[in-house]
Amino acid sequence: LKSTGMLSEIRWEQDNFMDTLKAGAFVLLLDILLLQYERILMIEEDCLPWTQIFLFLGFIFLVGFLEETVFRGIIEENLIRSFKSCALGRLKAAYCTGILFGLAHIINRSWSSSMEAVLYQMLQNVVIGIYLSLIYARARNVVGMIFLHAFYDFTSLMMSGIYGIGSLQEGVQSMDAASLWVLLIYLGPIIYLTIRIVLDEKRTALRKRREDAFDQRLLMIK
């Protein structure tokens, strides 16, 4: 990757960090509500030892860092650049990256005995991946995406990581068609961000046409 120059194109600058959080406000709010709900459920449960909790938090951050760096920072950023001359290039890049993100979770088949459950989890991650990719397409900030991803994973895995109830493997094994209804709540934000990106692309294209027309008039005058 270093030899291809892809790593140098990762957008680590923090100028758009707050824009990322604003675009991801829905998932932040949802995660905060889920966190409070889980705390109520676990109010009488004992936490795991602090060493295990710190390992869990480190794992969550590492997963968020690696997945966002690879999928949003490298793959989506390079797709956005590749589709720059195409109509709705950022939108195409976001949806392609989201689908790739979900399909990549086929790796869970290596430790899951149920292919059906893995397929359901892949579908779930396609939807979530598209949502995260749309956020990145709007704000283009990897640091903010790492924070959002890590916070999402933390709330999703808090019961096993903090209280030792269940495990990631058990979570995947329990996935079925009925558990996918939760994904419906992501449709609203996905549609909203899609519309915003389409409008942004149209405004950018219109501005470019006006600038080109102005430059042409200047050349004719000269």
Burial 55-65 (b: 16+ CB within 10 A, else e): ebeeebbeebb
pLDDT at 12: 60
Domain boundary assignment for the chain: 16-221
pLDDT at 88: 86
Tell me the C-alpha distance between 16 and 120, whole Å. 33
pLDDT at 3: 46
Per the listing, tokens 């950022």 go with 90
Determine the 3-state secondary structure of 77 from DSSP. helix
Please report, as a single letter, which amino acid is at residue 65. F
pLDDT at 193: 93
pTM of the shown model: 0.81
According to DSSP H, which parts of 85-183 are helical?
89-103, 115-139, 142-162, 168-173
Per-residue model confidence as pLDDT tens for the chain (222 residues): 454 455 555 666 656 777 788 888 877 787 777 666 666 666 666 777 888 888 888 988 999 999 999 999 999 999 999 988 787 899 999 999 999 999 998 887 776 667 877 888 889 899 999 999 999 998 888 988 998 898 888 877 776 666 666 555 665 556 666 667 778 888 889 999 999 999 988 888 788 878 777 777 777 776
Structural contact between residues 125 and 180, judged by C-beta atoms closer than 8 angstroms? no
